[in-house]
Amino acid sequence: MPDIEGTALKKETMENDILELNNIKSNSLNGFNFSEIGDDHLFTNMDTPMREGAFDLSNEEKKDKIAGLFAEIMDVLGLDLTDDSLQGTPRRVAKMYIEEIFSGLDPRNKPKVALFDNKYQYNQMLVEKNITFYSNCEHHFVPIIGKAHLAYISSGKVIGLSKLNRIVQYYAKRPQVQERLTNQIAEELKAVLETDDVAVIIDAKHLCVSSRGVKDDTSSTVTAYYGGKFNSSSKINELLNYINN
Ligand SMILES: [Zn+2]
């Protein structure tokens, strides 16, 4: 005779385990709960975490929805949405989110990169420095303002210089953490240039640190990626010399 009670009990225990797992997943990170993590900028993945069906809605549908939700936030804050100055804000924010500051979430906006043959046989590093970008911290949704410096050593192919800039802008236009932004740009450079010999240095100011929270107005955050031939102190020194001059 099958042990029905035993099976049911087992099923319940399993369900409880799953519930507990989900609880752990949604309430904590590395053993810290979210209130303990507070303002620390932890992140869990090199890919921008996207949910299933992220692009099921059209951009127009997304704008409608965001406008409605943002109006609700403003309303909860107690703002008078019939005021002439505030009336258009929910739409304006929605349009800005989709078309500008978060447009890099949509893979259709990824810059198309054409490669050219390295006709001049230039075989030293090429550095594109001081690329200004504006991103947004994914933990506070306030701006990150910074400079990106990119470098690569051609594997036989070169890309237009403006494309380096466009790659930075594409990945910056997402809710971001600086470490991920750095790596995403590096991975993209490696893929399009067909080489591991790329470097990315980012120096950025996080408004969530300077305008609120600890209110440190002078600090900036530096992150770096050194791939392939850039993994040597002589190459890194050479690169830093170009950047600092
Ligand atoms: Zn932040």
Cα(239) to centroid(ligand 1), Å? 29
Scanning the structure block, which residue is given the tokens 């993945």? 45
Q: Which residue did the predictor score with more confidence, 30 or 161?
A: 161
Domain ranges of the chain: 4-37, 59-105, 115-244
Catalytic residue flag (residue 41): no
> Is a pLDDT exceeding 70 seen at residue 115?
yes
Residue 128 catalytic?
A: no
Residue 243 CB-density burial (10 A; 0-12 exposed, 13-18 middle, 19+ buried) = middle
Q: Give yes or no for residue 7 having a pLDDT over 80.
A: no
CA–CA distance, 122 with 156 (Å, rounded to integer): 9
| CA–centroid distance, residue 143 to ligand 1 (Å) | 8
Of residues 12, 137, 176, 188, which has the active-site annotation?
Answer: 137
- The reported pLDDT for the residue numbered 176 is 97
Number of other residues whose CB lies within 10 A of the CB of residue 99: 14
Q: Catalytic: 137?
A: yes
Residue 118: predicted pLDDT: 86
| pLDDT at residue 54 in the model | 94
Q: Please, which pLDDT band fits residue 22 given cuts at 50, 70 and 90? A: very low
How many A from CA of 51 to the centre of ligand 1? 21
Give catalytic status of residue 20 as yes or no. Answer: no
- Calculate how far, in angstroms, residue 25's C-alpha sits from the geometric centre of ligand 1: 21
Residue 23: pLDDT over 50:
no
Ligand 1 centroid to residue 213 C-alpha, Å: 9
pLDDT(31) > 70: no
Query: For residue range 71-101, what is the model confidence (pLDDT) as tens digits?
Result: 999 999 999 999 999 999 999 999 999 999 9
Task: Quote the ligand 1 centre to 82 CA distance (angstroms).
Answer: 31
Lowest mean pLDDT across 26-40, 148-162, 182-196: 26-40
- Is 149 designated active site? no
Across all residues in the chain, what is the average pLDDT? 87
Supply the CATH classification number for the domain 115-244: 3.30.1130.10
For residue 31, the CA-to-ligand 1 centroid distance in Å is: 20
The CA 212 to ligand 1 mean position distance, Å, reads 9
Query: Which uninterrupted H or E stretch holds 154?
Result: none
41, 99, 128, 138: which one is catalytic?
138
pLDDT of 24 over the 50 cut: no
Q: How far is CA 96 from CA 102, 180, 228, in A?
A: 8, 23, 38
pLDDT for position 21: 47
Q: Which of 139, 176, 184, 188 is catalytic?
A: 139
Tens digits of residue pLDDT in 124-182:
999 999 999 999 999 999 999 999 999 999 998 889 999 999 999 999 999 999 999 99
Q: Which one of the listed residues 149, 169, 176, 178 is annotated catalytic?
A: 178
Residue 17 has pLDDT above 70, yes or no: no
Phi first, then psi: give them for residue 111, nearest 5 degrees: -65, 135
Respond yes or no: is residue 184 known to be catalytic. no
**Taking the CB of residue 164, how many other CB atoms lie within 10 A of it?**
23
CATH of domain 59-105: 1.10.286.10
Among 140, 149, 169, 176, the active-site one is 140
CA 200 – ligand 1 centroid, Å: 21
pTM of the model: 0.82
